[in-house]
Amino acid sequence: MDDLGRALAGQNDYIMMGGGNPGHLPELQNIFKQRLLEIADNDEHFRELVGIYDPPQGNLRFIKSCAALLRKEYGWDIGPENICLTNGSQTGFFILFNMFGGEYEDGTKKNIRLPLAPEYIGYTDLGLGNDFFVTTKPRIEYLDEHLFKYRVDFEAIDIGDETGALCVSRPTNPTGNVVTDSEVFRLLELAHEHDIPLILDNAYGVPFPGIIHTKATPVWDEHVIKCLSLSKLGLPAVRTGIIIAREDIIKSVSALNAIISLSPGSFGAMLTEKLVSSGEIITIGANMIRPFY
């Protein structure tokens, strides 16, 4: 990240082919620019943006709009108490992984199980202890002479008392593999059976930003921790991660926010709250990706 950041901050006209930076779409940037101008032109909103701490849970207006949108669109039984913002989804995963993995007060150790490898390389160093992750080799299905798909090998997944949580990204960076609906529901069955959370990393996926090339149903219940981000919507610099989980988990994440950074930044939430309250945020990703397929 240091190399990539310095390259983009320099004077050379590089074409960046990696590092997770989203493309710069003029139509989308114009939406954000206009919203920023509206905020700057309103003394009260500008003061809120730069001069007031949000609660450790995050910007409450954005959180309420997000909960209302997900209830309306998907019928999820959630309220503002089920949503928390973090300073980027990477920070959110650091908090979640070390909540459910690592050494506990009684001396026992838990790991985070990744049901499918290869997985997102950014998880690698998030654990505070050694032997933090356990991975499972995929079952590879050959589709034709040039294409194959990674599938979860459920026969190889061995969940015991040492498993603190399951985690899978959907779609996965950098392979682009999208875990199917049936695989997600089978993983959720395992989460229920062993009473552990299933963490779904949807930084690219559904319900937003929706930069996804195949059908994927948004899933949530009280055993799911759904992680979203504004980065791949075109706002990587605002560092806004979104966690949707049951209330006790949200309270713990909020408390850790307060310890680590006092509160999440307001910028991303205020910039996109109107897109969330109107529901447009769900359609943006599909409109962005459609020309490429």
For the entire predicted model, the pTM comes to: 0.92
Residues facing 102 on adjacent strands: 110
Q: Are 120 and 169 in contact (CB under 8 A)?
A: yes
Q: Which residue has the tokens 């006790």?
A: 248
Q: Are 251 and 240 in contact (CB under 8 A)?
A: no
Mean pLDDT of the chain: 91
CATH 3.40.640.10 fits 77-292, yes or no: yes
| pLDDT of the residue at 9 | 67
Q: Are 61 and 80 in contact (CB under 8 A)?
A: no
Mean pLDDT of 95-103: 96
pLDDT at 293 over 50: no
Q: What is the pLDDT of residues 144-159, one digit of tens each?
A: 989 999 999 999 999 9
pLDDT bin (cut points 50, 70, 90) of residue 1 is low
SS3 139: strand
21's CB contacts (< 8 A; 6+ apart) are 4, 8, 236
Q: Are 84 and 250 in contact (CB under 8 A)?
A: yes
| pLDDT of the residue at 2 | 72
SS3 14: coil
pLDDT at 291 over 60: no
Q: Are 236 and 203 in contact (CB under 8 A)?
A: no
Mean pLDDT of 51-58: 97
Q: What is the pLDDT of residues 158-196, one digit of tens each?
A: 999 999 999 999 999 888 999 999 999 999 999 999 999
Q: Are 197 and 100 in contact (CB under 8 A)?
A: yes
The C-alpha R_g of the chain, in whole angstroms, comes to 19
